[in-house]
């Protein structure tokens, strides 16, 4: 884990909000075409909730993924996101040491 990359990814309020929403996906998103708990949250649902353009949301998700804070998977035409709890726990331990 590159702590600087992770902290940069978290330095934007919208990216931080996405990460917070993904912590409790069933509470924050509703879907009729997928199982949010099993599949993750569809990128389109994140776009709708945050109210930003598709390209901006894609860039934000890419930064979160590069930092290791989320993972993505594809299922047909859909891309699904979920938090990477292992990296988040590692981040917390690193920050506690600092």
| pLDDT for residue 38 is more than 90 | no
| pLDDT for residue 15 is more than 90 | yes
Kindly report the pTM of this predicted structure. Answer: 0.92
| pLDDT for residue 34 is more than 90 | no
Residue 79: CB partners within 8 Å, gap ≥ 6?
42, 43, 72, 73
Q: How many domains does the chain have?
A: 1
In a domain, 8, yes or no: yes
The residue segments making up the domain with residue 67 are: 3-84
In a domain, 80, yes or no: yes
> What would the pLDDT profile of 48-71 be if each residue is shown by its tens digit?
999 999 999 999 999 999 999 999
The backbone torsions φ and ψ at residue 8, rounded to the nearest 5 degrees and listed phi first, read -65, -40
Q: Nearest to residue 21, comparing CAs of 57, 1, 50, 44?
A: 50
pLDDT band at 32 (very low <50, low <70, confident <90, very high): confident
In a domain, 97, yes or no: no
In a domain, 93, yes or no: no
Between strands 78-83 and 70-75, the pairing is antiparallel
Which pLDDT does position 60 carry in this prediction?
Answer: 98
Q: What is the CATH number of the domain that holds 7?
A: 1.10.10.10
Q: Count CA atoms within 13 Å of residue 11 on its CB side.
A: 8
Tell me the average pLDDT of the chain. Answer: 94
């Amino acid at each position: 884990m590159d702590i600087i990359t992770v902290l940069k990814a978290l330095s934007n309020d919208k990216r931080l909000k996405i990460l917070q929403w993904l912590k409790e996906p069933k509470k924050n998103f509703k879907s009729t075409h997928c199982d949010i708990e099993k599949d993750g949250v569809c990128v389109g649902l994140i776009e709708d909730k945050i109210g930003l353009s598709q390209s901006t949301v894609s860039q934000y998700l890419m930064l979160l993924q590069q930092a290791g804070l989320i993972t993505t998977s594809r299922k047909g035409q859909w891309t699904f996101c979920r938090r990477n709890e292992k990296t988040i726990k590692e981040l917390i331990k690193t920050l506690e040491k600092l």
